């Protein structure tokens, strides 16, 4: 097995007394986490360990996973902030027109002909669409919904994302102008 893995979820907290953990899924594929599925846990030491899902259920916008052999809160605590991964060759096949979120990092984002910047990260849980975290000129960070309504096209080979953003969307995150700073005072 090579060293190519993809992250399906991140552990955000312990949940319950029997070793359950609440995770933030990084996939929109229904029923991706099934009983008996094996996942590789990647921790801060960059070492992986294999675990098997014993049970899984949704809870308050997250997914709760119970792993075989993780039977107490103290067993679950080392999993906090870990990524839950599968080997690249085991990722689920996509329907036509869908994109793996992991392939968006490093893409250059355009709004029409205007270059906005490069995707540094993708955030989940802030709404229905994941947010592209885009680093623009002057170290400016933009949060842009990766929503079909704004998407004009994706060229993964060319590492480009073309968007049609509503007027003013990028200015929502913009730093205050000198005039705006004076008016606030």
Please write the tens of the pLDDT for every residue from 54-100.
999 999 889 999 999 999 999 999 999 999 999 988 877 777 767 77
Look up the CATH superfamily of 101-173: PRC-barrel domain (2.30.30.240)
Beta bridge partners of 49: 41
Q: Reply yes or no on whether the pLDDT at 174 is more than 70.
A: no
pLDDT at 101: 75
Any idea where the domains of the chain sit in the sequence? 5-89, 101-173
Q: Is the pLDDT of residue 2 over 60?
A: no
Annotate the chain with DSSP letters as a single string. --S-EEEEEEEEEE-SSSS-EEEEE----TT-S-TT-EEEEE-TTS-EEEEEEEEEEEETTEEEEEETT--SHHHHGGGTTPEEEEEGGGSPPPPTT---GGGTTTPEEEETTEEEEEEEEEE-SSSSSPEEEEE-GGG-EEEEE--TTTEEEEETTTTEEEE-PPTTTGGGGPPPPHHHHHHH-
Correct CATH for 5-89 of 2.40.30.60, 3.40.1280.10, 3.40.50.300, 3.40.30.10: 2.40.30.60
Query: Model's pTM, two decimal places?
Result: 0.62
Tokens (6 digits) for 76 = 């679950």
Q: What is the mean pLDDT of the chain?
A: 87
Which pLDDT belongs to residue 175?
Answer: 60
CA 169, 173, 178 angle in degrees (round to 5)? 115
- Quick check: 157 and 144 in contact, CB under 8 A? no
- Would the pLDDT of 14 be above 70? yes
CA–CA distances in Å: residue 86 to residues 7, 56, 67: 7, 17, 15
Are 5-89 and 101-173 the same fold in CATH? no
């Amino acid at each position: 097995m090579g060293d190519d893995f993809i992250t399906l979820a991140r552990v955000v907290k312990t949940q319950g007394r029997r070793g359950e953990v609440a995770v933030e899924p990084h996939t929109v594929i229904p029923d991706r986490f099934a009983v008996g599925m094996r996942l590789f846990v990647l921790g801060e030491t960059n070492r992986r360990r294999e675990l098997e899902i014993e049970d899984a259920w949704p809870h308050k916008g997250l997914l709760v996973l119970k792993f075989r052999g993780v039977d107490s809160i103290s067993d679950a605590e080392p999993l906090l902030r870990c990524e839950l991964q599968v080997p690249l060759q085991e990722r689920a096949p996509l329907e036509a027109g869908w994109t793996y979120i992991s392939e968006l990092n490093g893409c250059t984002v355009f709004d029409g002909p205007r270059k906005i910047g490069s995707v540094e990260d993708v955030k989940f849980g802030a709404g229905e669409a994941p947010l592209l975290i885009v680093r623009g000129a002057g170290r400016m960070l933009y949060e842009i919904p990766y929503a079909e309504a704004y998407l004009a096209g994706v060229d993964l080979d060319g590492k480009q994302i073309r968007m049609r953003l509503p007027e003013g969307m990028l200015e929502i995150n913009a730093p205050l102008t000198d005039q705006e700073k004076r008016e606030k005072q």
